[in-house]
Amino acid sequence: MHRINFLSQRLTNQIAAGEVVERPASVAKELLENSLDAGADRIEIDLEQGGVKLLRVKDNGSGIVKEDLSLALSRHATSKISNLEDLENIDSLGFRGEALASISSVSRLVMISKSDSDEEDNGWKVETEGQNMDAKVEPIAHARGTTVEVRDLFFNTPARKKFLKTEKTEFSRIDEIVRRIALSRFDVQFSLQHNQRSIHKLLPAKSEQEQHRRVALICGPAFVESSIHVEIERAGLRLWGWVSLPTFSRSQADLQYFYVNGRIIRDKLVTHAVKQAYRDVLFHGRHPAYVLYLELDPASIDVNVHPTKHEVRFRDSGLVHDFLFSSLNKALAEVTPQDQMQSSKGDPALHAAYCRERSEQAKTFMYQSPLSLKEHCQPIRLIDQVYLDQ
């Protein structure tokens, strides 16, 4: 019989990293959520080699004071909750205090931050390598905000590294995370670069028109043109966003974004309610497309159900299901032939912008397609099929 030991801090972090850090996209998600929680309204993401060689997130948020910098890298250290009551009323994206500890245990991590409350003009830097816990704090120039640089992900856990896919696949997963997050915060500017090429530059979208534009750049202009805008409020629940007209259905459930209080989730109850609402208007085997936001009292959901927090538990799931189903069912029943007509009108400038962005992405990988880029961009519906249906 072996004797019982406490595991080292490094090993416990690496075990936790198994849950939280599956691939570069999970690192991107955690870092972006931290930037949003810090109140940033400008976030830059820089990648090299699909985020495996380098994944850097720079924000203009509140920053971290010098004394807290190495604490931020420790497990179960968070500024977001301090008691059970806070846990039941979470209004931040993070709260478990384990992302940075986990990421730093499986990469070479540098964090630089400057907070308003620091007396010095400079910022501070900590560096760790595979969770060497005695992180040194050094002064360095930095504007207000935080930069986290993650290099050589899984350099010390080769078994994990083997599970990584090609650069293209890892990049597209990060890109998908950036899209999801960009759809959750119209007020924030996002830019994404991969191997020194600019992939997205999404300006803050305040007006409804600017929001439409962001949705079009992320989901394709054809989606925005073939969808209706919904906004329904009842019994403390509010649902708003864009849902596709029955004429715009997809062969896969790949254009479905659902947010609960700003957090993207994948939830069976939600999928079922939406599917039911479309039951009579879509052919069997086709899927609706949507970007929907549900807002409700934080106390009526439990977000602490999954380590990566992509599930929530509704306290009154029947009420939520009913609300989603009846709201969408009604909105779809009210679709007029005019709405359907509108859908065929396009905005050439938007199509061109979308096309440009897509072709940049294609160039980063010298995308091997049977069609030339010119053909991709003309007609626009073709590019949608080629890129989004794959």
**Where on the chain is the footprint of ligand ADP (CB under 6 A)?**
30, 34-35, 38, 59, 61-64, 72, 78-80, 94-101, 146
- Contact status: 261 vs Mg ion (CB under 5 A): no
Pick what 211 binds: Mg ion, ligand ADP, none; C-beta below 5 to 8 Å, kind-dependent: none
Return the sign of the alpha-carbon dihedral for residues 213, 214, 215, 221. Answer: positive
Cβ neighbours of residue 98 closer than 8 Å, sequence gap 6 or more: 13, 16, 20, 75, 76
Tokens 């640089």, residue located: 149
Q: Decide: is 61 part of the binding site for Mg ion (CB under 5 A).
A: no
Smaller CB separation from ligand ADP, 79 or 172: 79
Query: What is the closest distance, in whole angstroms, from the C-beta atom of residue 73 to ligand ADP in the complex?
Result: 7
Which one, 61 or 94, has the nearer CB to Mg ion?
94
- Min. distance of Cβ 102 from ligand ADP in angstroms? 8
- The nearer residue to ligand ADP, 191 or 276, going by C-beta atoms, is 191
CB of 374 to Mg ion, least distance (A): 43
78 binds, among Mg ion, ligand ADP, none (CB under 5 to 8 A by kind): ligand ADP
Comparison of 107 and 226: residue with beta carbon closer to Mg ion: 107
When asked if residue 99 is in the footprint of Mg ion (CB under 5 A), the reply is yes
**Cβ atoms of residues 191 and 44 within 8 Å:** yes
User: What is the helix, strand, coil percentage profile of the chain, to 5?
Assistant: 40, 20, 40
The number of helices, as runs of H, and strands, as runs of E, in the chain is: 14, 15
Q: Smaller CB distance to ligand ADP: residue 38 or 109? A: 38
The 3-state secondary structure of 202-230 reads ECCCCCHHHHHHHHHHHHCHHHHHCEEEE
Comparison of 32 and 328: residue with beta carbon closer to Mg ion: 32
Nearer to ligand ADP by Cβ, of 95 and 290: the residue is: 95
Contact between 350 and 205 (Cβ < 8 Å): no
Q: How far is the CB of 29 from ligand ADP (least distance, A)?
A: 10
DSSP-based three-state secondary structure for 62: coil
* Closest approach of Mg ion to the CB of residue 99, in Å: 4
Q: Which stretch binds Mg ion (CB under 5 A): 97-105, 114-122, 284-292, 382-390?
A: 97-105
54-59 vs 145-151, strand pairing mode: antiparallel
What Cα–Cα distance (Å) separates residue 64 from each residue in 104, 141, 146, 326, 374? 17, 14, 7, 45, 47
Question: Could you tell me how many residues make up the chain?
Answer: 390
Q: Does 34 bind Mg ion (CB under 5 A)?
A: yes
Q: Report the distance separating Cα 128 and Cα 107, nearest Å.
A: 8
Q: Distances from the Cα of 347 to the Cαs of 40, 64, 220, 254, 380, in angstroms? A: 31, 43, 12, 24, 11
The reply on whether position 131 binds Mg ion by CB under 5 A is: no
Q: What, of ligand ADP, Mg ion, none, does residue 97 touch, CB below 5 to 8 Å by kind?
A: ligand ADP
Q: What is the closest distance, in whole angstroms, from the C-beta atom of residue 28 to Mg ion in the complex?
A: 12
Shortest spacing between CB 108 and Mg ion, in angstroms: 19
Cβ proximity to ligand ADP, 129 vs 347, nearer residue: 129
DSSP string, 89-101: T--SS--SS-HHH
Tokens of 307: 């380590």
Answer for the pair 248, 223: CB distance below 8 angstroms, yes or no: yes
Read off the amino acid at residue 158. P
Instruction: Give which of Mg ion, ligand ADP, none residue 62 binds (C-beta under 5 to 8 Å, depending on kind).
Output: ligand ADP
Find the angle CA(327)-CA(36)-CA(105) to the nearest 5 degrees.
120
Report the nearest approach of ligand ADP to the CB of residue 201 (Å).
Answer: 20
- CB of 168 vs ligand ADP, minimal distance in Å: 28
Residue nearest to ligand ADP (CB): 94
271 binds, among ligand ADP, Mg ion, none (CB under 5 to 8 A by kind): none
Footprint of Mg ion (CB under 5 A): 34, 94, 99
